[in-house]
Chain A
Amino acid sequence: RKEVEQDPGPFNVPEGATVAFNCTYSNSASQSFFWYRQDCRKEPKLLMSVYSSGNEDGRFTAQLNRASQYISLLIRDSKLSDSATYLCVVNGGNSGYALNFGKGTSLLVTP
């Protein structure tokens, strides 16, 4: 079983839509959780950290459920520029504090 699993998508949504991504992780010893964004052929960029208390940054809301080992990302009022691959990332556990990446969920926002 992969350490971090995501629905690969793709998600094709119209501008203005709300879209939700889900992620599960297998190692209960994991300590830190992130959502990264990766544009085609580029390095990942941190979108936001994920806390048990939830984390909101503008149109983006991330939540963590440690009991279920589940992480979510909600994007409201989607913009064309949100089109990218969203990576669920977990650290701690087997690899110490190296990051374990999900395969990514592809989002395409259309006009």
Chain B
Amino acid sequence: GAVVSQHPSRVICKSGTSVKIECRSLDFQATTMFWYRQFPKKSLMLMATSNEGSKATYEQGVEKDKFLINHASLTLSTLTVTSAHPEDSSFYICSAPSITGKNYGYTFGSGTRLTVV
């Protein structure tokens, strides 16, 4: 079935540094990638939608200059958290619409747990 590979799975960084998270679709083309964030005991919240070859669409309240999204190819979307602060510590996860057989669904990456110290 469709697989989205997300890396890194866990990262600890210092305040002020930048962290890049990659999501690769391994056996299908992901023209769209959704980026979510989940704080402890909270629901996954959509941050932005990236589309291959065009600018990402950000949800209200998400700073596009802080969370840089690049979707330069049909198999790779990246999220860069710039100048990270402790309040950016969260679980970041990507998801792409995919078709497996007759089923249309969403394939998730395994998530990245970011801790900013």
Give residues in A with beta carbon < 8 Å to B.
Answer: 4, 34, 41-46, 49, 87, 95-104
Given contacts A41-B91, A42-B111, A43-B108, contact A98 B43 (CB under 8 A): no
Q: Are A98 and B34 in contact (CB under 8 A)?
A: yes
Residues of chain B lying within 8 A (CB to CB) of residue A95:
46, 49, 59
Contacts across chains A and B counted by CB atoms under 8 Å? 43
Q: Are B110 and A99 in contact (CB under 8 A)?
A: no
Q: How far is the CA of A97 from the CA of B34 in the complex (A)?
A: 10
How far does the Cβ of B33 sit from chain A's closest Cβ, in whole Å? 10
Residues of chain B lying within 8 A (CB to CB) of residue A100:
46
- Is residue B78 contacting chain A, with contact meaning CB distance below 8 A? no
Q: Are B43 and A102 in contact (CB under 8 A)?
A: yes
How far does the Cβ of A89 sit from chain B's closest Cβ, in whole Å? 9
Near A by CB (< 8 A), chain B positions 32-57 give: 34, 36, 42-46, 49
Q: Are B113 and A98 in contact (CB under 8 A)?
A: no
Residues of chain A lying within 8 A (CB to CB) of residue B45:
101
Residues of chain A lying within 8 A (CB to CB) of residue B111:
42-43
12 additional A-B pairs beyond A43-B108, A87-B44, A98-B46, beta carbons within 8 Å, are A41-B91, A44-B44, A46-B105, A49-B105, A98-B34, A99-B46, A99-B95, A100-B46, A101-B36, A101-B44, A101-B45, A102-B43
